[in-house]
Each structure stands twice: as C-alpha cells, then as structure tokens.
Structure 1
C-alpha cells in the first residue's frame, strides 16, 4: 500500500463518521485479530461513566508515568488535533505514527461493514500501544461500555465514575438502564471502583460485580474524601489514610474524581511495588486536563470548559457563581444537537450578563437561532458570531481587565477556541 499523507489519513477517517454510531464488538474484534490482538500486550485500566472519565484517566496516566511505567492513554474527543486521543508517556503520538497505525489497521480490515470512526481509532490506539510496548494503557470508553469498541480489553482494573441520563437513544432512558450498559465493562474477578450515587445505579453495579465475582469498592462506603481547602483534601481509603492531598484541577467535583483516582491507585499498589504515595501525590499535582475548567488568561479572566452535558453544565454554573462572584461574565457558547440545550443554557447563563452564541464546524452543532430562542427568556444581552475564533476574539476585546469570559457548551467549541488562541500566539489577550 502506498504511503498515506497525514491529512489524507484523517480525511479518510473523518469520512467514516457518515456511518454514525454503531455499537457492537464484532468489527473491532475482527480488526484486532488481524493485528495480532495488540490489546493483549498491556495491562489496561478501563474507565466508563458520564463525567470525569478523562480527568481520572489523565491523572492515573500521570501517576503511573511518574512511578516509572511506560503508559498509554486513550481518550476522546480531541480538542485540536486527532493525535491527542492517543498518547504515550504524556505525549500525543506523532503524525508519522498516526499514518503508520492507520495503514496497519487499514491493511487488515476484513468484515461485513466499514468500521466507524471510533472503532478505527480504537484499533489504531491499541496497535500503537503494543508497538510502543506500554506497561499500562488507561482507556476511556466512548459511549456506554458493554458494546463500546474499547470493551475488548482484559483490564487489571475497572472504574465507573458516575451516571446521569445521556445518549438515551443508545443506552436507555433510565439511570438503571444506562448503568447496566456502563457496568458492561465489569469482568470476572477484576476489581471495580465506582463513584455512582443513585440507589438504582448502585444496585445495578452491585449485581453486576456479584455476578462476575468482581471485588467492588464504592465511594462513600469503602473510601471517602474530606475537603480541607479549595483544592486540598484528606483521603480515607481502602488500605490507607492520606492527608495533605491536592489536585491541580479546578472545581469541587475534581476532589471527587481524585478520590476515585486514589482508590484505583490503592488497588494497583497491591500488585505494583513501584507505585508509592509520593508518586500519587506528585501525579495529582502535575496532572493537566485541557479544556476542563482551564484558565488561559487572568486579565480578563478567560476560562474554557466543554460542559458538554447537563451535569457538567451544572458544575460549571456553580463554579462561575462561586469563584467569579462580582465579575461581569460573558459566556461564549455553542451546543450540539443531541444535547438538552435548553436546560444546559439555564445553568450556564445563570451567573452571566452577556451571551455570544457561536457554532463549531462539526455538522451536529445547533443553529444559533435555535440557541437564541432558548436563551432570550434567560438573558437580554445576546449576540451571534458564527466563527468560534471570531466570537472569542470579540468577547475578549469587549471585556474589561476585571471581567471574565467563559467558553463552553461543547468540547468542539473549546477546541476551536484553543486553536484560535494558539494561532494568535497569545495576542488575543493584548487588548
């Protein structure tokens, strides 16, 4: 097969999105078999849930890398470049590696249907992790769990973060049904860490763990955290009691995410002598997760957060009300058409004085006029600027140094905003 340029590879992969979302394991299993089953060459940590998957995954990858392991990290979506989805030891793979893994997967695909974008990228990730001989791969599910393309790994540990109503067309329209799909990652005898709070969700996970004879560790029952400051906490764990812990990620919910991270580390420590409390403490502080309550300027204060579902929007709204009280806040927002946009807008706009509606380039983005109609009863100062970069530039240019700008509603909006910032070389803030 002739060599494929990086842009041609991506064009080919993005064209797969026309097949939409197809849940099932037969196609990914066939592809991986053709590649020699690369997913069997590393220890996996498999993470499902509604929110917090990426924050926990990146924290665990950082901690394990500090402990001296070679670590792969597979997450989605990317913010600016596809390469971000597949990283090894904290670095996204190179363009050349993208091409090589694409060609490897393309050469072995045999099946009744074309793979979806997510199936193809998952196979690329596992191929690359095997080629790079990672010790651990921290793998985030795309949607659900039971029939998610990532659910072909034999994990050392499973994590289910939390559950809220999402992707109801594919996962079910109740908390219990959605939890059942997420709990599909639970494997026989493999420990499970979870932070679910609803009674129905707990019941489903307990039954799934019991059926698989999988040790289950639940936040609030087997481990817990006690906040001692804005980002500091004590951890009362399964085997340990650690004080003076700190997370670098903003938002009170990140302490809850850190609790799951620490519980996972405790379980890993039982079989990994190289992993210590010092590695864990350093990893939490050094961890970075772009596009989630990410502050990119202090004057004016500019913060980016995908807030791409209702739970995330509520958390962002609370953060803005608490942390930015007294500031004039401008919200720059675009939302995709499969989201409960009216409810999301209510939470995002509650602490804001101005809204700039924008539209990311993805074809699933809502028309600005739809968002404007929903926002009119909530806020009076509304403007539409279709291009995300232009919207961000205008928001910053028309804000005072003491004001705040929040970019939210979709990770695609955040990605385009970050790209505009990178292209400007920081000049967006020289107003």
Structure 2
C-alpha cells in the first residue's frame, strides 16, 4: 500500500462511527504485544483547552531535556500532525510502517480513533520516549486513550459538547470526562463550572488522588503581556506564553502545575525549563495570527464556551472592522457559537467545510441574517477566505472560526499547503 492508500483505509474505518468502550482497543494492543505498557503516560481530558494545555506541557518537558511524545486530534492540515516527538511530526514512511502492523492486528469493528490511538502508542513505545502526553478524544472514561495507565491527569474546563454521546448536562459530561482519572495518581483541575467541579472533586477524592485546583492551589494572573504564576512550590514572574489569547493563562497555569507535580514522578524541571517551555509552545489554529495585510486570525472555537473565550480575547486585537469567516458542523450549537461573535462582526462570510457534517454556507448565512448580521455565502472555505480578504482593508481584521475543520482548511490556503480533508 502507498501512504495515500493506507490513509484511505484508515479513514474508511469512520464507517463504524463512534463506539465508546475499551474492549476493542485493549484487544488490539494485546495483539501488538502491549508495548505501550512501558510508557509513562499523562492524560489530558476536558472540553476546551486540551490541545493548548498539552502543547504547553509537552514544550516544558522538551525544554527540560525529556524526549516527549504528544498525541492530539483532530489534525488541521496533515494526518502526521497527530503524532509528535519534541515538536517533530511523525514521518510518512513511519506512518506507513506502523499502520500496516496495526491494521493487520485490528479486531473487526475497530474504529478510526481506536486504530489511531494504538498507532500513537506503538510509535511512542518504539521511539523510546521518556513520557507521552495523550489528549483524550471527546470523552474520558470510555475514550480509547484511557486504555493506557497514566501517571498524572489534567482536566481542562468542562462544558456542554457532544451531548449525544456524553450526556445532556454538565455533571453528566464531567462524570464521563472524569472517568480518565486514575486511582492514587495526581489530578490537575482547571477552572470549572461549579457543577462540573463538584463531580470531578468527588471522583478524585474517592480514588485517593492528590488534587490540585486552579485558583485554590495554583493560579496565574496577567501583568500586561506576561503572566505571574503562583504555583504549588514555585512562583514565576514575567512568563510570556507562546500561544496567544488571554484565556491561555488557565491552560499555561495547568501545564506549569502539572510540571511541578511531575518532579515526584522522576521528571525534575528547572524554573528555566518552565519559562522556556511556556514561551516556546506553539499550537496552530488557536489564536494564530497571520500578519497580512489584512491580518487573519485563526481560532478553532467550536462550542459556546470556546466562542465566549474568543470573543473576550478579541479585545486585544485592534482593528477598524472585524470580518468574520465562519463554518460550523451541522450537529453543533450554531446559536451558542455565534451569539458572542456576531455582535462584534461588521461583516460575516459563511463557508462550508469540506467534511460530511459541514453546515451548508447558504443555510448558515441565512441563520446569521435572521440575527441581524450582514452575512453573505462565501462557498467553500478557500473561496470564502479569499472573498473576506478582498473585502477587508489593511487595518481590518479577518477572523476565521467555528470549527477546527474550517480553520484547518483556511490555514492550508494561507500556507499554500496540501490539505487532507478527511478527519476523525
């Protein structure tokens, strides 16, 4: 098989849909020799901020001299983005080699995400990483990443999302997300809604975990463009995050608290490693600015909580006008996502992401116009982005958001890079 044929086979597993549970992935890994059992795993679960938090912590560990694996999803442009070691993506030849092994061992009915998780664990074990950070998919307890035993868990803010799978209330979603917490292992808990915090605190206590909570045991505050971190045992002044957005203070603080806790797990880190790791962290498609003119800001906010944080962060971006380019999945809460953003937009260009679940641009434009926005149908993402750039003045800001799929397509267009549209 070629690389392209292999990816086509892997993507075809999406026909099995989302099937929560660990039996299939456990069986698959057993057939592969349970090589992942030797890995030191850090789990990152939650609704918003998982990727940024994982990227911050991965950068800190790499700055400290540790060989660090990072598994995230979905990718923005290329499948290889999902698997990184010290920031470097897996090579295509390695994907091809490992995928052949994993596909040959996969039980009938193995899902896309289960196979990709197994591929990540096999890659990290084969490369002998010191530690591997796994971003959970949409869940926690029943997420394929939970097949691996962890040494530490980070739970980022929990909010309503994926209700058809995780539950229709915040406590129900928190119970599923919290299922990834391991008995006796430390837990870093980000800022949470009270009803989510109650569930997660109770589970941590019931399992005898050391619990470290944002704004109780550690915190971070902005002083101009830099953060002041007050941690479990350390304080750091003048920390400048490499990932943009005011809301990153919580994600950066959680990564720093986790780094402090890792000293007891055999990963001591200096203050310089903490500072440099936060500063060197990058997370494409999240408050990522392309200078222009006109400047284009990419952010993957795809639920109401993420959109609200984005709306607040826009205060740091001076502009004459804001032109919003948005494409949303048909099964997402369009009202909740766009409500914080439409009042800030002078013009709206709607687009259709190149995935099956993408909401048609003409329907989204009508939706926006019904809410008083000056919206036009921009068609496909690259065409809509180009239209917005043409309509923008040099001192206007073009914002692309609504879905990571939309952002990925836009980013590929801005970089003139090949785009792999099929995701999981």
Shorter-chain TM band? over 0.9
Distance 2:21 2:96 in 1: 26
Output aligned runs, 1:106-255, within 5 Å. Answer: 106-110=103-107, 113-230=108-225, 232-255=226-249
Q: Give the TM-score, by structure 2 length.
A: 0.95
1:100 maps to what in 2? 97
Distance 2:417 2:104 in 1: 39
* C-alpha RMSD over aligned residues: 1.5
Greater CA deviation, 71-80 or 383-392? 383-392
**C-alpha offsets along residues 341-374 of structure 1, whole Å, 9 cap, x if unaligned?**
0221222222111111111110000122321222
Distance 1:159 1:28 in 2: 22
2:386 maps to what in 1? 393
In structure 1, stretches of 5+ residues that fail to align are 426-431
1:70 maps to what in 2? 67
In structure 2, stretches of 5+ residues that fail to align are 419-424
1:33 maps to what in 2? 30
Contact 2:134–2:145 (Cα < 8 Å) also in 1: yes
Greater CA deviation, 194-203 or 161-170? 194-203
Distance 2:348 2:375 in 1: 5
2:289 maps to what in 1? 295
2:402 maps to what in 1? 409
Query: 1:325 offset after TM fit, Å?
Result: 4.7
Distance 1:394 1:411 in 2: 20
Q: Give the TM-score, by structure 1 length.
A: 0.94
Distance 2:216 2:347 in 1: 43
Contact 1:46–1:185 (Cα < 8 Å) also in 2: yes
Aligned residue for 1:40, secondary structure, equals: helix
Contact 1:158–1:192 (Cα < 8 Å) also in 2: yes
Aligned residue for 2:415, secondary structure, equals: helix
User: How many residue pairs are counted as aligned between the two chains?
Assistant: 418
Query: 1:83 offset after TM fit, Å?
Result: 0.5
Distance 2:73 2:335 in 1: 25
Aligned residue for 1:362, secondary structure, equals: coil
2:313 maps to what in 1? 319
Distance 1:418 1:48 in 2: 25
Aligned residue for 1:282, secondary structure, equals: helix
Distance 2:149 2:267 in 1: 21
Are 2:341 and 1:344 equivalent residues in the alignment? no
